[in-house]
Structure 1
Amino acid sequence: MLKNTRSRLAKLLLVVLIGTLCVFFALVLYHWTAYISEDKRQKELSQVLKTMVKEQGVEKVLDLSGVPVANIFEGENGLILFEGNQDQWLYSADEKQNMQVYDTVNKSVVHITTTVETQVNAFMDVLPAQGTGSGIILSADGYILTNAHVVEKATSLSVGLYNNRTYPAQLVGLDNEDDLAVIKIAVEKDVVLTPATLGTSEDLRIGQKAIAIGNPFGYDRTMTVGVVSGLNRPVRTSEGSIVMNAIQTDASINPGNSGGPLLNAHGEVIGINSSIYSVSGTSQGLNFAIPIDTAITVIPDLIKLGKVSRGWLDLTVVQLTPQLVAYAKLSVDKGVLVNQVATGGFAEKSGIKGGTQMVQYGSSIVYLGGDVITAIGDVPIEDLNDLYMALLPYRSGQKVSVTVNRKGERKTMEVQLIERTAQQVRALVR
């Protein structure tokens, strides 16, 4: 009897164990199936959201989720969201950003007044005339950066600060080619000069915010806001000089803004406002600034030497075009064609060959058959702007490595540089 009871109990336990295992595996199978289904649904939803973000923006996704977003900024660490009901705000995030830039930088912007003795009245007397411009404080000891055309003809200079104090200024250095100048003021010990923060123009992108602060028409420290609307522009100013690699912006710039800063959203100087393109003499949405990287390279020479000596090759060059490449049957389609070399000059002595076959090319005479410059040092040369930028760090008297393509053969030569002239830069802009 006891034996039968134990047998039945064992069978019962076995049934319970098997039943428990079946339930366990059924639950595992159910959850596994549900997980696969949920994972598939999540992936499908993720793809839908990615498509929505790409086509309609992050704002649409957040709007569907019921999150009120006032503004979105994209940074290196991801997205920054400004939440809340805008009706409760005094200022938008964009406005607050503009205000912060102005509060940070406006004390670094000066108002420059010039006196120029150029006007002549009916009695042939020389009369003084006043002009205005802007400038950027470079250092606490009084060095100020501005445009050359603001100060170059002035017989006297005065600088107005944010605190309404005015000081006489002296010209320290002038660079007509890049339209840059450095002047200097001396202030009392109790007056604190706030230098501007110099950024970089190397990584600018079209569409990013651009802010101008200056003194248009004599209105001190006026701020205008726009975007970077173009890059690497060669621009001929009203004074006839050529500004290479200029920044184009639609931030309003008018007479009196010249020499003032063009800023990014962090309040860093990315350019020096220089000129406008206009048929009326006032801003029409096409304004230009000298890249701050260009200014940084010349400021030390302007302070130390009063001028800038730049190196250049003693030869003339022609921009390659598909038509010219095809007509001349060149073996390369990138680079600059050596038109002529100066007789007895450094380029000729180094072995660079100019053209010998004279042809009419548009309104110009071009000599074909010369070398094609493809690199300066380690810098590839694809066009005239590349050549200009590659030689920018060099001074006259220095030697550079010039790589050329001569009828399909690559050659490299060491060439001593001459001092660059404004005429040579003008020749780059047709």
Structure 2
Amino acid sequence: MNRIKQAFKDRLWLGVIIVGLFAGLIGGGIALGINNLVQHHEEVTSTRVPAGSNKSGGTKVNKNKADLNGEASQAYKSVQGAVVSVINKQKVQQSSGTLGIFGYGSSNGSSDSSSDNKLETASEGSGVIYKKSGNSAYVVTNNHVVKGSNALQVILSNGKKVNADLVGADSATDLAVLKINATNVKTVASFGNSNSIVPGQDVLAIGSPMGSEYANTVTKGIISAKDRTLKAGTDGTLTSVIQTDAAINSGNSGGPLINMAGQVIGINSMKLASDTQGSSVEGIGFAIPSNEVVTIINQLIKNGKITRPSLGISMVDLSNVTSDQQQSVLKLPTSVSKGVVIMDVNSGSVADTAGLKKYDVITKLGDTQVTDAGSLKAALYKYKVGQNAKVTYYRDGQQHTATLHLTKSADTTSTDDSQQDNN
């Protein structure tokens, strides 16, 4: 009997458990369903575009909380009035005849045609006014901006267009100085010491990228490196330049690179950037250091040109000579792989006086190793006319030295672009 009662109790509890579980499942499903319905309703409500009037959608302009007189803005304002656009005008031949079925003919019916030259804008660049003296003001820009011009014009920051005269230009450093009427000049820039700059320093580039339509455009960046060595001008002379990531585009050439005190620490040169990279590269621009700029300006103002020492030779890079010829003709030891080969010596020149001859291989000038024509010119241009320089060279496999008396000079505004370099 007890067993029957116990079995009955067990079955009763089992039923209760089963009913409880079943009720829980049903209740949970109902709760889950209700929760899903609530979430769906909320999603529909929150994503549906509200109906009604749009009058509450208006807004207003609030007071500008940004600092409008920050360091960069003040630096720009202090120099902006001195930055100009430089217009290179060149002669374009035009026919004065009328266009007929078979080409141009004169208006009187004869076959003769006449032509005249008209000045048109060939290119545009930038510049900066650095000096005002009496009725004259002086602008520094790049040589390649003014090269080949038949006339020059300068557009001032106020939009006034004035004529300009070329005081002098130097292809080796890609610099030129212009002279304009100072009547409308209100601001001049000053030069800072480019030897004191440091990588990471904030700078601004100002100029006319893509032409005078965008005059006085300012871009901001930093000094990426202060002493890059690049080839400048058309003669491949190595020069030390400032590298910056401030945007410098075509038309910026000749404009100033300034520090946050508004001082010019370099003259931007797109020519250097394009010549070096072969194409437009974002974030890499170059500027000629202000200390070099001031040195060149003062010589151009004084003499109208830059006079540098010249060896009086024509030369080729040793790298352009085959290994067989280096051994059979030049008789060089295998340890010598870089330098320049003298191909001709002008009679009475500095090299001739020092005893240098054809096929001598120059490997060193002073304390500077000579690797090619550019490095030889860079080393030579550190000397002044009248100074002495020691030259190291190889002749018939033997190393020799000689003293060069740099009494001769050459106007480096004219260059030779041929494979055989002259100096």
Report the TM-score range of the alignment, normalised by the length of the smaller protein.
0.5 to 0.7
The structural deviation recorded for 1:302 is 1.8
**Which of residues 228, 234, 238 is equivalent to 1:232?**
228
Corresponding residue for residue 329 of structure 1: 333
Alignment partner of 1:138: what SS? strand
- CA 126–209 in structure 1, closer or farther in 2 if over 3 Å, else same: same
Corresponding residue for residue 290 of structure 2: 292
Alignment partner of 2:81: what SS? helix
Corresponding residue for residue 168 of structure 1: 163
Q: Confirm or deny: 8 A CA contact 1:353 1:371 kept in the other structure.
A: no
Q: Confirm or deny: 8 A CA contact 2:312 2:346 kept in the other structure.
A: no
Corresponding residue for residue 416 of structure 2: 423
**Which of residues 71, 89, 92 is equivalent to 1:97?**
71
Corresponding residue for residue 365 of structure 1: none
The structural deviation recorded for 1:311 is 1.4
Corresponding residue for residue 401 of structure 1: 389
- CA 331–157 in structure 1, closer or farther in 2 if over 3 Å, else same: closer
Q: Confirm or deny: 8 A CA contact 1:110 1:137 kept in the other structure.
A: yes
- Residue-by-residue CA offset, 1:227-271 (whole Å, 9 max, x unaligned): 34454343467xx56463243433222232121112234433232
Q: Which amino acid aligns with 1:129?
A: E
- CA 382–128 in structure 1, closer or farther in 2 if over 3 Å, else same: closer
TM-score between the two structures when normalised by the length of structure 2: 0.61
- CA 207–118 in structure 1, closer or farther in 2 if over 3 Å, else same: farther
Corresponding residue for residue 302 of structure 1: 300
The structural deviation recorded for 1:401 is 2.1
Corresponding residue for residue 198 of structure 1: 191
The structural deviation recorded for 1:145 is 0.8
- 1:133 maps to 2:125: yes
- 1:351 maps to 2:355: yes
- 1:107 maps to 2:60: no
Residues in 2 aligned to 1:280 and 1:411: alpha-carbon distance in whole angstroms: 38
Q: Confirm or deny: 8 A CA contact 2:363 2:370 kept in the other structure.
A: no
Corresponding residue for residue 377 of structure 2: 388
Q: Which amino acid aligns with 2:303?
A: L
Unaligned runs of 5+ in 1: 1-87, 357-369
The structural deviation recorded for 1:374 is 4.4
- 1:271 maps to 2:266: yes
Corresponding residue for residue 312 of structure 2: 314
Corresponding residue for residue 363 of structure 2: 372
The structural deviation recorded for 1:427 is 6.6
Residues in 2 aligned to 1:319 and 1:392: alpha-carbon distance in whole angstroms: 21
Unaligned runs of 5+ in 2: 1-63, 105-114
Corresponding residue for residue 259 of structure 1: 254
- 1:342 maps to 2:345: yes
- Residue-by-residue CA offset, 1:282-311 (whole Å, 9 max, x unaligned): 674343333333322221232233222221
Q: Confirm or deny: 8 A CA contact 1:134 1:259 kept in the other structure.
A: yes
Alignment partner of 2:266: what SS? strand
Corresponding residue for residue 185 of structure 1: 180
Q: Confirm or deny: 8 A CA contact 2:94 2:118 kept in the other structure.
A: yes
RMSD: 4.1
Q: Confirm or deny: 8 A CA contact 2:268 2:288 kept in the other structure.
A: yes
Q: Confirm or deny: 8 A CA contact 1:403 1:411 kept in the other structure.
A: yes
Residues in 2 aligned to 1:374 and 1:154: alpha-carbon distance in whole angstroms: 36
Q: Confirm or deny: 8 A CA contact 2:208 2:252 kept in the other structure.
A: yes
Q: Which amino acid aligns with 1:157?
A: L
Q: Which amino acid aligns with 1:372?
A: T
Q: Which amino acid aligns with 2:389?
A: S
The structural deviation recorded for 1:169 is 1.9
In the comparison of the two structures, how many residue pairs are matched?
Answer: 317
Q: Confirm or deny: 8 A CA contact 1:337 1:373 kept in the other structure.
A: no
Q: Confirm or deny: 8 A CA contact 1:137 1:145 kept in the other structure.
A: yes
Q: Which amino acid aligns with 1:277?
A: S
Q: Which amino acid aligns with 1:101?
A: A
Q: Percent identity?
A: 30
Structure with the bigger RCO (C-alpha within 8 Å, sep 6+) is 2
Residues in 2 aligned to 1:108 and 1:181: alpha-carbon distance in whole angstroms: 16
Q: Confirm or deny: 8 A CA contact 2:365 2:379 kept in the other structure.
A: no
Q: Confirm or deny: 8 A CA contact 1:242 1:426 kept in the other structure.
A: no
Q: Confirm or deny: 8 A CA contact 1:160 1:167 kept in the other structure.
A: yes
Residues in 2 aligned to 1:277 and 1:212: alpha-carbon distance in whole angstroms: 17
Q: Confirm or deny: 8 A CA contact 2:125 2:254 kept in the other structure.
A: yes
- Residue-by-residue CA offset, 1:65-104 (whole Å, 9 max, x unaligned): xxxxxxxxxxxxxxxxxxxxxxx97349xx9232122122
- CA 387–236 in structure 1, closer or farther in 2 if over 3 Å, else same: closer
Q: Confirm or deny: 8 A CA contact 1:175 1:308 kept in the other structure.
A: yes
- CA 402–220 in structure 1, closer or farther in 2 if over 3 Å, else same: same
Corresponding residue for residue 202 of structure 2: 209
Q: Which amino acid aligns with 2:353?
A: K
- Residue-by-residue CA offset, 1:341-363 (whole Å, 9 max, x unaligned): 5153321321345536xxxxxxx
Residues in 1 aligned to 2:81 and 2:382: alpha-carbon distance in whole angstroms: 31
Residues in 1 aligned to 2:346 and 2:120: alpha-carbon distance in whole angstroms: 46
Q: Which amino acid aligns with 1:329?
A: P
Q: Which amino acid aligns with 1:257?
A: N
Residues in 1 aligned to 2:90 and 2:362: alpha-carbon distance in whole angstroms: 48
Residues in 2 aligned to 1:340 and 1:288: alpha-carbon distance in whole angstroms: 34
**Which of residues 231, 238, 245 is equivalent to 1:244?**
238
Q: Which amino acid aligns with 2:405?
A: V
Residues in 2 aligned to 1:160 and 1:394: alpha-carbon distance in whole angstroms: 37
Residues in 2 aligned to 1:247 and 1:223: alpha-carbon distance in whole angstroms: 18
Corresponding residue for residue 56 of structure 1: none
